[in-house]
Amino acid sequence: MSDERENSGYHPEQVESKWRERWKQRGTNAPDLDRPGSEPFYNLMMFPYPSAEGLHVGNMFAFTGSDVFGRYQRLRGKTVFEPIGYDAFGIHSENFAIKMGIHPGELIPRNIANFRRQLERVGGMFDWRHTVDTTDPSYYKWTQWLFLQLYKAGKAYKKKAAVNWCPTDKTVLANEQVEGGLCERCKTPVEQRVLEQWFFKITDYAGRLLDNIDGLDWSDSTRGAQRNWIGRSEGAEVDFPSPAGTLRVYTTRPDTIFGATFMVLAPEHPFIDALTTPVQRGAVDAYRAEALKTDLVARRTGEKSKTGVFTGGFAINPATGTPIPVWIADYVLMEYGTGAIMAVPGHDERDFAFATKFALPIIRVIAAPGESASTPLTEAHHGHGVLVNSGPFDGVSTAEAPRKVTSWLKAKGAGEGKTLYRLHDWCISRQRYWGPPIPIIYCEACGPQPVPEQDLPVVLPPIEDFRPDDSGVSPLARHREWYHVACPKCGKQGRRETDVSDTFLDSAWYFLRYPSTEFTDRPFDKERTKRWLPVATYIGGNEHAVLHLLYARFITMVLKDLGHLEFEEPFLRFRAHGMIVKDGAKMSKSRGNVVIPDEYINKWGADTFRTYLMFLGPLGDGGDFRDDSVSGPRRFLERMWLLVGDAGDVSVGPGVPPGLLAKWHRAKQRATEGMESLRYNTAIAALMELLNAVKDEGAHPRALVDEMIVMLAPFAPHFAEECWERMGHATSVFDARWPAFDPALLIESTVEIVIQVNGKVRSKLTVARDADEATVLAAALVDGATKKFLAGREPKKRIYVPGRLVNLVV
């Protein structure tokens, strides 16, 4: 099956196994991290979850895309550190183990061995001395250490909270892992449960996480997703006196307060009982019971028509001094702001819908140009304008009204400006088996105690029955010898925390570990970290644009504040790769359109496969996998192989035809631009064009062939090494330098000028590169084809773009 194309003498499997072996012997891909010979460049790709199926084409695409960049940087003279590892803890692995009836502790090492084989085969420039496996105690020892640092700094805390519970996975999910009310993993509707959970105070960092985004070299979409997730709102908290006490609301539009005609509380709001009048008691209780029965998620995803009930109570609008009715409704959420709002039906859609349904008064307080205080409102109006019906603020523009009203309210002691974030604290507890145990010991006398650092790691005990159950308690609680442990403070019997931590914690710091894997007494060495971090370029999937990147940034920030790091942003440059689809659809086992990369590598070779994947389109776009297109890149390599054979021949002349010289330099320029912008498809196209030009010109100077091999090396590394050797070089092609282009040589000595008449191309002229305007125009006017279209008319206007075109307007 492998090789029908015998003519060229190129045999991928021989070339690739030879160079895999050679690289290992020479240590080609293992830079000296303490004495890098040149500028260090940390090239990171998102580490894979080692599934039983092995690497799929999407992984290959992503890793190759990143590897090509690393190899390019190396050719630019950097010392490149390119590690890879395995993100092997977590529900994903555990569920698969349950399904197969195999213990994850047995399954995962098998999968990892298979992944490693595949990763080596595809030709990644990986430094295998520095790899991580998050399930290895020598790794998760430091994940636990990390937890302790946050705990000691008061950034980790335990609280009873209504949390998202997945009844299928039988565990708590972070808010981020719930999509539209469903578990993102198994699509089961999520329930609310009140459990004691560990949280990280990521909300303390919301402002910094948001502000720093501006300075990051990340793609706009990723930055947007992060901003969106953190969700900053600028507004004010305002106090409304009521019989039950001061009702505080949050609003982003304090300037509309004169139009607040009623208030709405979340059904969980603590003031409801005190505000409810005897007459309304029955209705209120019924509504609350109904609302609380429907869990938070269902409330969010349910239909949007408004429901609610009047408490019978009133509060005073501090701006107008008028009593306004207080309602409860489930469209107000207890977890955001204060769980209470002032309703301004004239200028908020939801309040408008509510007021319309329950016949509550609607007052206009903003008038756009052409409107007045009495123009009727047929819908909520949230445009700009000036304030009306707003007492002392009538006529103030909406641009400055929020600020003015806020300070007026503040002076009255009725409120203050307030910035709010939508980000919630990060719940890291998981009631599961396959994760790092959270290093806490509970003692009757001393309370929760951190496990002393010298006792780390708290090793995950190998228990037979690792299945989760409905109790809300981790299976670890069933392992009695492990569970009971002496209190580190008083020595009396205590018990271990049985929750394990979220997989996202494992991956929130792995990039810090890579350069320091040989240090067993510290998570990351100061010197190594200083030399290699932050990460120069990080390439990964957009599915991690929010969670993983946000958590990694947060952990880095905390470690900086605690004095362990000198930087607070871990990834200077991040680019998301696209997705590989097959026949327009996402690959999945159920669709039966999964591409197994091993088969393609067997058939075409890793070099062809890599080149094909990168030729598909820009890295960020992904692409549609088509079997029949792989032959193009393979043919290109074959022709290149033959060219190298010719160039090795003594008959190769030194002369470079002038036409070829410009094309040569142009190809170098385009290849360089393609590499820098991760549009590798254009870089490969430039090399193909150059090869075509070489054929057409019938000249193949040695220097040109050498440079082509270097430029091809990131895509087809084994192939390039072999060609390089055949050209007589004794060292690795990756010790060569990426070729420079000479801008002066980009332009050919003559240029073709397009002649347009009235903007339409009518003729072409070949003139000297440095011909001046008068000469070109004169030549254009006597040109036969041009004359025909001018039809004797005198041009009214003559446009000349040097080196490009002439446009004659008649």
Partner RNA sequence: GCUCGGGUGGCGAAAUUGGCAGACGCAGCGGACUUAAAAUCCGCAGGGGCUCACGCCCCGUGGGGGUUCGAUCCCCUCCCCGAGCACCA
Contact assessment for residue 193 and residue 429, using Cβ atoms and an 8 Å cutoff: no
Answer for which of 13, 30, 54, 336 binds RNA (CB under 7 A) is 336
Task: Report cis status (omega within 30 of 0) of the bond before 534.
Answer: yes
Question: Taking CB under 7 A as the rule, does residue 352 contact RNA?
Answer: no
Kindly indicate which of the ranges 16-24, 100-108, 687-695, 731-739 contains the residues binding RNA, using the contact rule CB under 7 A: 687-695
List the x/- string, 144-183, binding to RNA by CB under 7 A.
-----------------------------------xx---
Question: Taking CB under 7 A as the rule, does residue 299 contact RNA?
Answer: yes
Kindly indicate which of the ranges 79-87, 153-161, 208-216, 758-766 contains the residues binding RNA, using the contact rule CB under 7 A: 758-766
- What is the distance between the alpha carbons of residues 366 and 735, in angstroms, rounded to a whole number? 69
290 or 453, CB closer to RNA? 290
Question: Taking CB under 7 A as the rule, does residue 252 contact RNA?
Answer: yes
Q: How far is the CB of 309 from RNA (least distance, A)?
A: 14
Question: Taking CB under 7 A as the rule, does residue 766 contact RNA?
Answer: no
User: How far, CA to CA in Å, does 758 sit from each of 762, 768, 797, 798, 808?
Assistant: 9, 24, 10, 10, 6
Q: How far is the CB of 585 from RNA (least distance, A)?
A: 10
Looking up tokens 């980790």 gives 156
Q: How far is the CB of 250 from RNA (least distance, A)?
A: 5
170: left (phi over 0), alpha (psi -120 to 50) or beta: left
369 or 654, CB closer to RNA? 369
Beta pairing, strands 79-81 & 750-757? unpaired
- Of residues 513-572, which lie at the interface with RNA (CB under 7 A)? 542-543, 546
Neighbours of 558 (CB within 10 A): 24
Q: How far is the CB of 424 from RNA (least distance, A)?
A: 9
- What is the distance between the alpha carbons of residues 529 and 81, in angstroms, rounded to a whole number? 12
Question: Taking CB under 7 A as the rule, does residue 689 contact RNA?
Answer: yes
Q: How far is the CB of 150 from RNA (least distance, A)?
A: 24
- Of residues 782-801, which lie at the interface with RNA (CB under 7 A)? 785, 789, 797, 799, 801
Task: Report cis status (omega within 30 of 0) of the bond before 278.
Answer: no
# of chain residues touching RNA (CB under 7 A): 86
DSSP codes joined into one string, 220-236: HHHHHHHHHHH-EEEEE
Q: How far is the CB of 751 from RNA (least distance, A)?
A: 8
Q: How far is the CB of 339 from RNA (least distance, A)?
A: 6
Looking up tokens 């496990």 gives 451
- What is the distance between the alpha carbons of residues 530 and 508, in angstroms, rounded to a whole number? 18
- Of residues 260-279, which lie at the interface with RNA (CB under 7 A)? 266
564 or 639, CB closer to RNA? 639
**Which H/E stretch holds residue 404?**
helix 401-411
- The single-letter DSSP state of residue 86 is B
Kindly indicate which of the ranges 28-36, 391-399, 514-522, 619-627 contains the residues binding RNA, using the contact rule CB under 7 A: 619-627
Kindly indicate which of the ranges 122-130, 149-157, 523-531, 610-618 contains the residues binding RNA, using the contact rule CB under 7 A: 610-618
- What is the distance between the alpha carbons of residues 514 and 44, in angstroms, rounded to a whole number? 10
Beta pairing, strands 493-496 & 484-486? antiparallel
- Of residues 415-454, which lie at the interface with RNA (CB under 7 A)? 420, 422
Question: Taking CB under 7 A as the rule, does residue 186 contact RNA?
Answer: no
Kindly indicate which of the ranges 27-35, 391-399, 428-436, 612-620 contains the residues binding RNA, using the contact rule CB under 7 A: 612-620
- Of residues 375-394, which lie at the interface with RNA (CB under 7 A)? none
- Of residues 691-720, which lie at the interface with RNA (CB under 7 A)? 692, 695
Answer for which of 4, 32, 470, 649 binds RNA (CB under 7 A) is 4
**Phi, psi of 166, deg, nearest 5:** -95, 115
List the x/- string, 218-247, binding to RNA by CB under 7 A.
--xx--xx--xx-x-x-x------------
User: How far, CA to CA in Å, does 436 sit from each of 46, 222, 553?
Assistant: 20, 29, 21
CA angle, 773 then 779 then 780, to 5°: 90
Answer for which of 127, 255, 330, 425 binds RNA (CB under 7 A) is 330
Contact assessment for residue 51 and residue 110, using Cβ atoms and an 8 Å cutoff: no
Answer for which of 192, 449, 682, 750 binds RNA (CB under 7 A) is 682
Answer for which of 9, 37, 270, 302 binds RNA (CB under 7 A) is 302
Question: Taking CB under 7 A as the rule, does residue 635 contact RNA?
Answer: yes
CA angle, 185 then 191 then 194, to 5°: 120
Question: Taking CB under 7 A as the rule, does residue 337 contact RNA?
Answer: yes
Report the half-sphere exposure of 336 (CA within 13 A, side-chain side).
Answer: 17
Question: Taking CB under 7 A as the rule, does residue 758 contact RNA?
Answer: yes
Question: Taking CB under 7 A as the rule, does residue 685 contact RNA?
Answer: yes
- The single-letter DSSP state of residue 461 is P
Neighbours of 422 (CB within 10 A): 15
Strand partners of residue 808: 757, 798
Question: Taking CB under 7 A as the rule, does residue 348 contact RNA?
Answer: yes
566 or 742, CB closer to RNA? 742
Q: How far is the CB of 386 from RNA (least distance, A)?
A: 20
Q: How far is the CB of 71 from RNA (least distance, A)?
A: 20
Q: How far is the CB of 573 from RNA (least distance, A)?
A: 17
Q: How far is the CB of 632 from RNA (least distance, A)?
A: 2
Answer for which of 30, 102, 754, 767 binds RNA (CB under 7 A) is 754
Question: Taking CB under 7 A as the rule, does residue 688 contact RNA?
Answer: yes
191 or 624, CB closer to RNA? 624
Q: How far is the CB of 304 from RNA (least distance, A)?
A: 5
DSSP codes joined into one string, 254-312: GGGGGG--EEEE-TT-TTHHHH--HHHHHHHHHHHHHHHHS-HHHHHHS------EEEE
Question: Taking CB under 7 A as the rule, does residue 250 contact RNA?
Answer: yes
Q: Which two tokens stand for residue 326?
A: 């207080």
Kindly indicate which of the ranges 335-343, 485-493, 645-653, 771-779 contains the residues binding RNA, using the contact rule CB under 7 A: 335-343
Q: How far is the CB of 713 from RNA (least distance, A)?
A: 18
Kindly indicate which of the ranges 114-122, 459-467, 624-632, 737-745 contains the residues binding RNA, using the contact rule CB under 7 A: 624-632
Residue 617: is it exposed, middle or buried by C-beta count within 10 angstroms (0-12/13-18/19+)? middle
- What is the distance between the alpha carbons of residues 161 and 296, in angstroms, rounded to a whole number? 13
Q: Which two tokens stand for residue 791?
A: 């039809």
Kindly indicate which of the ranges 320-328, 329-337, 531-539, 718-726 contains the residues binding RNA, using the contact rule CB under 7 A: 329-337
Question: Taking CB under 7 A as the rule, does residue 773 contact RNA?
Answer: no
Runs of H (alpha helix) within 648-782:
658-676, 680-697, 702-712, 717-726, 773-782
Torsion of CA 137, 139, 140, 145, to 10 degrees: 120
Kindly indicate which of the ranges 191-199, 361-369, 750-758, 771-779 contains the residues binding RNA, using the contact rule CB under 7 A: 750-758
User: How far, CA to CA in Å, does 384 sit from each of 42, 361, 402?
Assistant: 49, 22, 12
730 or 791, CB closer to RNA? 791
- Of residues 54-93, which lie at the interface with RNA (CB under 7 A)? none
Contacts of 589 (CB under 8 A, 6+ apart): none
Q: How far is the CB of 41 from RNA (least distance, A)?
A: 25
Q: How far is the CB of 259 from RNA (least distance, A)?
A: 11
